[in-house]
Amino acid sequence: MTAADRVYAIIKQRILDGQYPANSYIREATIGQELELSRTPIREALRRLVSDGWVEVIPHHGARVVSWTQRDVEEVFELRVLLEPQVVRRAASRIDPSRLDSLGELACHMEQLCERGDDLAIDEIAGLNNRFHAELITAADSPRLQRLLEAIVQVPVSRRSFHHYSGEELHSSMRHHREIIRALAAGDGEWAASVMRAHILAARAAQLHPPAR
């Protein structure tokens, strides 16, 4: 792994952490001094972040962390509704039993955390949920589909999404996981895709129209 790769990962992580807030500028010299690197690998990392849509460049002024509007969130959900069902549609005919098992374990773990229901548990669920989706993408065995999803499913959107869920919505999400596993085990891609579609649309509804609590 080269220095530019590391810088890319570090900056991305800091954007996710909120350490680099939206609309803030990332100074090449500043981060270069901090990591004890020259501007060269920093610049390369920033270019990649630009082409991946994490930051935007204002000419002669710098690299600014992009800010997300409501419209951006809607655009992402619109695309996820198309692509994530395709993931499981493919996975249904390709997944092997061992991966089904690990999906089951993830679902089980998430359900247990769901019973606790506190904020920390919800954070953990978010992490496990990401792993769940990542396993599915691997099972789908389509590098391009994976790349597209990674390009649009910015974690800023999904990271704290479960905090928008009501208890009912959270349980519903868990049931979706189980049903997707059953559909995959049955090798039924359309069934799995339908559940996934509902899963994403439910997430969208929770995100866009947070229930009063």
Partner DNA sequence: ACGAGAAGAGTTGTATACCATTTTAGGTTA
Partner DNA sequence: TAACCTAAAATGGTATACAACTCTTCTCGT
Where on the chain is the footprint of its own copies (CB under 8 A)? 1-2, 44, 47-48, 51-53, 59, 72, 75-76, 78-79, 82-83, 86, 142-145, 147-148, 151-152
DSSP state of 113: H
State the virtual CA torsion across 96, 97, 100, 104 in degrees, nearest 10.
-170
Q: Which stretch binds DNA (CB under 7 A): 20-28, 141-149, 168-176, 191-199?
A: 20-28
Closest by CA position to 201, among listed 71, 82, 89: 82
Q: Residues 38, 31: contact at Cβ < 8 Å?
A: no
- Partner whose footprint covers residue 3, from DNA, its own copies, none (CB < 5 to 8 Å by kind): DNA
Helices (H), 18-118: 28-35, 39-51, 70-91, 97-116
The 29-58 site mask, x for binding DNA (CB under 7 A), equals: x------xxxxxx-xx------------x-
Spatial neighbors of 152 by CB under 8 A, at least 6 apart, are 76, 79, 80, 83
Q: In what order do the strands lie in the sheet with 62-65?
A: 25-26, 62-65, 55-58
Q: Is 100 in the site for DNA (CB under 7 A)?
A: no
Phi then psi for 57, rounded to 5 degrees? Answer: -105, 125
Number of residues that bind DNA (CB under 7 A): 22
- Partner whose footprint covers residue 29, from its own copies, DNA, none (CB < 5 to 8 Å by kind): DNA
Q: Give me the least distance between CB of 164 and DNA, in Å please.
A: 34
Q: Give me the least distance between CB of 48 and DNA, in Å please.
A: 11
Q: Give me the least distance between CB of 39 and DNA, in Å please.
A: 5
Distance between CA atoms of 55 and 6, rounded to whole angstroms? 17
Residue closer to DNA by CB (options 60, 209) is: 60
Distance between CA atoms of 42 and 33, rounded to whole angstroms? 10
- Partner whose footprint covers residue 75, from DNA, its own copies, none (CB < 5 to 8 Å by kind): its own copies
Among 11, 12, 20, 26, binds DNA (CB under 7 A): 26
Q: Give me the least distance between CB of 178 and its own copies, in Å please.
A: 26
Q: Give me the least distance between CB of 144 and its own copies, in Å please.
A: 5
Residue closer to DNA by CB (options 48, 178) is: 48
Distance between CA atoms of 198 and 204, rounded to whole angstroms? 10
What is the CB neighbour count within 10 angstroms for residue 189? Answer: 19
- The contact set with DNA (CB under 7 A) reads 2-4, 25-29, 36-41, 43-44, 57, 59-63
